[in-house]
Structures are given as C-alpha cells and as structure tokens.
Chains A and B, each alone.
Chain A
Amino acid sequence: MIKTFTQNLPIQLSSQVQEQYNALVPVLKAYASSNNDKYYFEISNNYNTSCFILGLAIFYKSVVIPLREANSVFKDFQSKENIKGIQIGKYVFSNTDGRQIQSMYNELQKILDKYHISEHILLFSDIKEFARNLNAYLSNKHGQEKNSI
C-alpha cells in the first residue's frame, strides 16, 4: 500500500518513508486485532483504509510539509530586499518552484477537506495516538454518512 506514496520519490526519501511505514504497520495491525472495541473498532473494520491513511500521514509529514515550509521560507526571503532565489548546492529555488509547490499543496488540501481528514490526524507523535484519532475519525465519518442518508 505504501508503494503508492513512494514510487515517485528519490531512493533515499523513498526508503525513509517505507521504513517508517514498515515499523508502524505491525503495531496498527496489533491494535486492529486487539478486540479493544472502545479504541480500535473502526480500525479493525477498515483495516486496509487505515493502512492507506497511515501511508498518507507519513507521506504528508515527510514530504508535503517540508515542501510547504520551503515555499514559505522563499516567500519570507523574497520580502526581504527582493531575494530572487535561494541557492541550495547547485540548485536555485525560484518562483516557478514556489508556484508548483503551492499548487500541489492546495490540491491536497482540497482532497483532505473533501474527506474531512484534518491535519491533526496526519501529524501524529506516536502510533497509538494516530490509531485512536483515526478510529474516532472513522467512527465520526460513519455517523455523518448515516445521518446524511
């Protein structure tokens, strides 16, 4: 499932994302099969979707947010003495990069909004917190859909 997120990443970053996912999935699986319905009922019932959202969360923290922040630095620097670009090694981060990142970020936010997935779920500190927040989200989502019928 994590392949969806890693296939377009450079090898080093791809391995980092993959490793994080591989380390966390067994814990999520243990929660899902723990019969602790209070905290993990929805994860157990939606295990594949839960794994996908875990992959999304790792990708969001490791790739999307750093890109968003890079764009934010560029905008801040531009406001000081009209800095035209930031040279990182041989590469110059310019307006074009800023626009591409902004467009990517906006598009992802639209998707997250559509499914009511808040940043709070994606920016987790440990897997237990993620699992419980995700369970609450899935549970709430179910309620919302039931009410809308």
Chain B
Amino acid sequence: MVKRKTPFKDASVLIRDIETFLTKHSSLFRSQGSRISHFFEMSCYNYVVKFYENSGFTVLPKNLKQGVFRYKISAAGNPDNFSHFLVSKNVKSNNYEFEIHHNLSIECAHERNIFYTADISVIKKDSLERIDPPTYSVKRSCCKSINMETFFEVKHLSPFPELLFSFTGIPDSFLTRDLRNNIIQHLAPSLLLSGRANFHAEKIKKYLENRYGINIILNLFGTPSAVYSKKYPKKKIGTLLYKGSAVCTRMGGWVKCICI
C-alpha cells in the first residue's frame, strides 16, 4: 500500500491559523470560560420561552433591575430578587397566565417539605410561596407541585444510559399529572441535553418517551429549534385545572394529592 501525503499541502498552516485565532481571543475565552454551563442553561431557558412565543403566547420579562434581566444561577436565593418571563394567552375569553422560572424549588407532589430544584419550571402566575419548612433552617421560596405546569432539566452532557433512566424518577415524584385539561398544552417534562445520541441512546430515548410521556431532547447545539419548533414532534401535557395548594393524605399505603 502506497502511503499518501498529508491531505493539506502543509497541515501546519491549519494549526498556525488556529493558534493565531486562539491567541487573539484568549482574553475572551479566559473571562467567559467559567460561565459556560450557565450559558447553556440560559440558552435552554430561552428555547422554552420561544416555545410559548411560537404557541401564540404574549411574552413579557418581569422583575428587571434597571433594564437588566437577573438570571438565577443556583438553588440559593430568593426568586423575588431575580427576573422571569410571564407568558399569557387568551382562549375562549379565559386568560391563561404562567411564569417561567429558573432554578426554582418545587415541593414534592406526594410528601410535604421535601423539594427539588428544577432548572427551568413553568408555574401558575403568582403561585410562589415563602415558607418555613422544618427541612431547612431558613425560610424558603417554592412552588407546590399542584401549581407547577411542567419543568425541564438541563445538562451540558452527552446522553448515557444512567442519566436518561434516572430522569424518569423526577416527574414521578414532582409532577401532578391529574386534574389537567387540554385547552392549553405545555411540553411534557423534558430532559434537555447538549450532546448527540448514538444508536443505543436513541433507542433508550424512544423507549422512555413512550413509556413515561416525557421528552428527551438531544443535540441542542446542533438543532436548538428541537425544543420550540412544531417541526419536531414532542410529548405534551395539559394545563392544571385549578390554582391551589395541595393537601397530601395517605390512602391505602399510597400518597395522593387533593386540590383544595
């Protein structure tokens, strides 16, 4: 077998071009590099807002501070000090209003005073509560499951089986599936990943989506519109009938939520 020459007339030209580029923008990479995971989460937040825009909702930023949108980057902090989007739509003379938050605590649908922080959550308007649970030593803002329409978990990772399977437990504990109508439809709880799927991950994705009625949306850097465009079919979930608080009662060994 005759060995061919390198495909570039001189491969070092490519390397030199890239090195010059990296040196020129080194301060940008150094300064912004530490925010990469926040940027990905922010992008996904924006895709979810776009989904509501594309579904005919009016979108308004709320709680800006001097024109600046304050993005909540962790579970800590009072959501009142951060910005969010309010989305609203009139259907048959009823005005439906929801808030899209990031890093918001959600109370379990089946057990009081245990929480999970959803990366992105869509909740009924004005349903945030400030509570003093025995679980924590400080007051905490949260949304009860009965007021949470849907949520999204964001990971700047490639899909792997453990990650995909483990997501299915979260909707099971935190999403109220009953007492919903289909006048307004939200995206079903979704796992949003930056990485692309190989054949195995693609098979797992299809299986989990069909079994649990969730979405696993992959390759968001390649096709961000997979979240918001109608071109990509996705599982949906209706809107909660009532805004209320949940009372949890144990019935025959099962924990059930009743809306009051």
Query: Given contacts A45-B3, A46-B6, A97-B32, is CB(A72)–CB(B68) below 8 Å?
Result: no
Most A-side CB within 10 Å, residue of B18, B28, B197: B18
Task: Please classify the interface of chain A as helix (H, G, I), strand (E, B), loop, or mixed, using the class held by over half of its residues.
Answer: helix
Min CB–CB distance A143 → chain B (angstroms): 9
**Interface residue ranges of B1-47 to A (CB < 8 Å):** 1, 3-9, 11, 14-15, 17-19, 21-26, 28-30, 32-40, 42-43, 45-46
Query: Are B67 and A123 in contact (CB-based, < 8 A)?
Result: no
**Interface residue ranges of A93-147 to B (CB < 8 Å):** 97, 100-101, 104, 107-108, 111, 114-115, 119, 123-126, 129, 138-139, 141-142, 145
The distance in angstroms between the C-alpha atoms of A10 and B33, with both chains bound, is 6
| Chain A interfacial residues counted at CB < 8 A | 61
Stretch at the interface among B57-65, B88-96, B113-121, B125-133: B57-65
- Cβ-neighbour of B196 out of A66, A80, A123 (below 8 A): A123
Query: Are B36 and A87 in contact (CB-based, < 8 A)?
Result: no
Nearest-CB residue, chain B, relative to A85: B68
Nearest-CB residue, chain B, relative to A17: B33
| Chain B 191-227: CB-based contact to A (< 8 A → 1; otherwise 0) | 0001111100100000000000000000101101000
| Chain B interfacial residues counted at CB < 8 A | 62
Most B-side CB within 10 Å, residue of A56, A65, A84, A124: A65
CB-defined contacts of A89 to chain B, threshold 8 Å: 38, 73
Query: Are A66 and B21 in contact (CB-based, < 8 A)?
Result: no
Query: Are B69 and A76 in contact (CB-based, < 8 A)?
Result: no
Nearest-CB residue, chain B, relative to A83: B69
The distance in angstroms between the C-alpha atoms of A142 and B70, with both chains bound, is 51
CB-defined contacts of A42 to chain B, threshold 8 Å: 4, 7
CB-defined contacts of A88 to chain B, threshold 8 Å: 35, 38, 42, 71, 73
B50 an interface residue at 8 Å Cβ cutoff? yes
Min CB–CB distance A20 → chain B (angstroms): 10
B243 an interface residue at 8 Å Cβ cutoff? no
CB-defined contacts of B37 to chain A, threshold 8 Å: 66
Nearest-CB residue, chain A, relative to B3: A45
CB-defined contacts of B61 to chain A, threshold 8 Å: 77, 80-81, 83
Min CB–CB distance A69 → chain B (angstroms): 4
Nearest-CB residue, chain B, relative to A149: B9
Most A-side CB within 10 Å, residue of B24, B68, B69: B69
Query: Are B39 and A87 in contact (CB-based, < 8 A)?
Result: no
CB-defined contacts of A84 to chain B, threshold 8 Å: 66-68
Query: Given contacts A85-B68, A115-B14, is CB(A142)–CB(B4) below 8 Å?
Result: yes
Query: Are B8 and A141 in contact (CB-based, < 8 A)?
Result: yes
B155 an interface residue at 8 Å Cβ cutoff? no
CB-defined contacts of B140 to chain A, threshold 8 Å: none
- Chain A residues with CB under 8 Å of chain B are 4-5, 7-10, 12-14, 37, 42, 45-46, 48-49, 52, 56, 61-63, 65-67, 69-70, 72-73, 76-77, 80-89, 91-92, 97, 100-101, 104, 107-108, 111, 114-115, 119, 123-126, 129, 138-139, 141-142, 145
- Chain B residues with CB under 8 Å of chain A are 1, 3-9, 11, 14-15, 17-19, 21-26, 28-30, 32-40, 42-43, 45-46, 49-50, 59-61, 64-71, 73, 156, 158, 194-198, 201, 219, 221-222, 224
